[in-house]
């Protein structure tokens, strides 16, 4: 039965609460008036006035806003009649604390907070299972959409050779900071921040490669796919070349392995737009396992490599928070997550974006201090590398040169017990 049919048979409203009311949630709010049987019970935010302003700017009228309970504290709303909590702070440390409380309170959870997912996601998923609730990725974000394509492929017996997304990336961008980010987007600071309310740190994470590493880490851990040997390479590839290039090197492609993640760029090394780019979309590559399937690829007009064995499917866009209702309905009506962390395959390592000095406070994803690189969890544990998700407010105990990896012993961390427990749990899953 389709979800919309099940929705018609649902009598009670689906009561939800948001923790964090930024851009992603604002996009959901813009659709809220058009959604059936979803009721916002509460919004938690450190700045309630701004949260209410975001509600207004998203199209909610005063009557609708007055029906929402606003709070500064998650603890204040945990015992309310709420079916699904949506954690959207974007802070991996705080998000993990929130997620742990929600799950232990036996409430369903949607993690818009991919940062928390890649830092402590395996622990949170297993904790959710133990408490008989769902911990889901957010539909609308690219990891969930990639996982949807992977599920289609695997259900129909196809091998997933590669999975990933498109973005605008150039090697020089990895050193971009919140002070330089708008030039790369062709925007002024006034246009971006004052007129559109764009967060420079967040948008820099999209540009410098941090967000790509984070999202591919999430996909690797959810779909049991490999990391590239030396991290993401961001080859410039258009959609009609995906099946030709995003295949293993021994078959004429660019990949280290069968079954890995990779991000493709919408611009080339000269920073020129490539034809038929996938900047906003997601893709997978599948492989024919016999000649009959290979012929079907050809007969039905699928885009393939020269051998005809590999084919690609893609979705050229993602609607971000405008699509979040899909996750809410999937949980409430189907008791199903729209993606979740099943493994601990990968981490995102921290490398110095500049020369760093003893006593300097790091500033996390998209900031001035560190850049993220996708690595295996085995390497992360063996070398005790500092995960990008733990770099917010970490204080250096030694000098680190530009481009050097930052290790756990190099910093002073003051982590909540929930995060310490989660990381220990995940490390213990790795064989010594």
| Residue 211 predicted with pLDDT over 60 | yes
- Distance CA(259)–CA(226), nearest Å, equals 6
Q: What's residue 194's pLDDT?
A: 82
- Distance CA(207)–CA(185), nearest Å, equals 9
What does the pLDDT average to over 212-237?
A: 98
Say if residue 262 is in the same domain as residue 155: yes
Say if residue 278 is in the same domain as residue 157: yes
Say if residue 267 is in the same domain as residue 325: no
Say if residue 75 is in the same domain as residue 88: yes
For residue 115, the tally of other CB atoms under 10 A from its CB is 31
Looking up residue 387, the CATH number of its domain turns out to be: 3.90.1210.10
Q: What's residue 76's pLDDT?
A: 97
Say if residue 126 is in the same domain as residue 246: no
pLDDT tens digits, one per residue of 267-282: 999 999 999 999 999 9
Q: Is 11 exposed, middle or buried (0-12, 13-18, 19+ CB in 10 A)?
A: exposed
What does the pLDDT average to over 115-144?
A: 98
Q: What percent of the chain has pLDDT over 70?
A: 100
φ/ψ (deg, to 5) at 288: -75, 135
Predicted TM-score of the model (pTM): 0.97
Q: What's residue 432's pLDDT?
A: 54
**Tokens matching residue 165:** 């997304």
| Residue 237 predicted with pLDDT over 80 | yes
| Residue 213 predicted with pLDDT over 90 | yes
* Domain-embedded: residue 198: no
- For tokens 């740190």, what's the residue? 201
Q: With H, G, I as helix, E, B as strand and everything else as coil, classify residue 100.
A: helix
- Distance CA(146)–CA(164), nearest Å, equals 7
Looking up residue 325, the CATH number of its domain turns out to be: 3.40.50.720
Say if residue 365 is in the same domain as residue 274: no
pLDDT tens digits, one per residue of 239-262: 999 999 999 999 999 999 999 999
Distances (CA, A) of 117 to 58, 219, 259: 27, 10, 21
Contact 346, 377 (CB under 8 A): yes
| Residue 70 predicted with pLDDT over 60 | yes
Position 195 confidence tier, pLDDT thresholds 50, 70, 90? confident
Q: What percent of the chain has pLDDT over 90?
A: 96
Position 193 confidence tier, pLDDT thresholds 50, 70, 90? confident
Q: What's residue 83's pLDDT?
A: 98
- Distance CA(388)–CA(372), nearest Å, equals 6
Say if residue 11 is in the same domain as residue 136: yes
| Residue 1 predicted with pLDDT over 90 | no
Strand bridging mode 282-287 / 310-315:
antiparallel
pLDDT tens digits, one per residue of 145-170: 999 999 999 999 999 999 999 999 99
pLDDT tens digits, one per residue of 303-353: 999 999 999 999 999 999 999 999 999 999 999 999 999 999 999 999 999
Say if residue 274 is in the same domain as residue 312: yes
Say if residue 61 is in the same domain as residue 15: yes
Say if residue 43 is in the same domain as residue 132: yes
For residue 285, the enclosing domain spans 143-169+209-318
* Domain-embedded: residue 183: no
Number of domains comprising the chain = 3
**Tokens matching residue 185:** 């987007």
Side-chain-facing half-sphere of 21: CA atoms under 13 Å: 27
């Amino acid at each position: 039965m389709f979800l919309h049919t099940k929705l018609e048979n649902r009598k009670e409203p689906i009561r939800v609460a948001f923790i964090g009311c930024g851009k992603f949630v604002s996009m959901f709010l813009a659709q809220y008036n058009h959604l059936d049987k979803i009721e916002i019970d509460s919004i938690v935010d450190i700045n309630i006035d701004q949260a209410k302003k975001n509600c207004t700017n998203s199209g909610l009228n005063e009557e609708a806003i007055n029906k929402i309970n606003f709070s500064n504290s998650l603890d204040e709303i945990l015992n309310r009649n709420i079916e699904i909590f949506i954690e959207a702070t974007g802070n991996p440390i705080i998000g993990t604390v929130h997620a742990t409380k929600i799950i232990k309170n036996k409430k369903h959870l949607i993690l818009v907070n991919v940062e928390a997912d890649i830092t402590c996601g395996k622990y949170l998923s297993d904790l959710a299972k133990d408490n008989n609730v769902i911990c889901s990725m957010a539909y609308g974000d690219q990891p969930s959409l990639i996982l949807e394509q992977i599920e289609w492929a695997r259900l129909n017996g196809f091998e997933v050779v590669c999975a990933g997304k498109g973005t605008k990336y150039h090697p020089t961008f990895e050193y971009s900071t919140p002070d330089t980010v708008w030039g790369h987007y062709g925007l002024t600071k006034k246009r971006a921040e004052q007129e559109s309310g764009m967060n420079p740190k967040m948008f820099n994470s999209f540009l410098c490669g941090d967000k790509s590493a984070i999202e591919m880490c999430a996909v690797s851990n959810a779909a049991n796919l490999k990391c590239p040997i030396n991290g993401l390479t961001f080859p410039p590839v258009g959609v009609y070349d995906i099946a030709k290039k995003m295949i293993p090197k021994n078959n004429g492609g660019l990949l280290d392995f069968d079954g890995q993640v990779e991000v493709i760029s919408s611009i080339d090394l000269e920073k020129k737009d490539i034809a038929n780019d996938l900047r906003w979309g997601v893709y997978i590559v599948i492989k024919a396992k016999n000649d009959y399937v290979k012929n079907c690829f050809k007969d039905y007009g699928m885009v393939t490599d020269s051998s005809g064995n590999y084919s690609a499917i893609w979705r050229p866009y993602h609607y971000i928070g405008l699509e979040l209702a899909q996750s809410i309905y999937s949980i409430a009506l189907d008791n199903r997550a729209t993606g979740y962390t099943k493994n601990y395959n990968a981490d995102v390592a921290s490398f110095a974006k500049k020369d760093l000095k003893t006593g300097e406070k790091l500033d996390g994803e998209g900031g001035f201090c560190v850049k993220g690189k996708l690595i295996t969890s085995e390497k992360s544990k063996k070398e005790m590398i500092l995960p990008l998700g733990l770099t917010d407010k970490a204080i250096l105990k030694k000098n680190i040169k530009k481009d050097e990896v930052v290790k756990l012993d190099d910093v002073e961390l003051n982590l909540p017990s929930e995060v310490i427990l989660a990381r220990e749990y995940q490390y213990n899953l790795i064989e010594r």
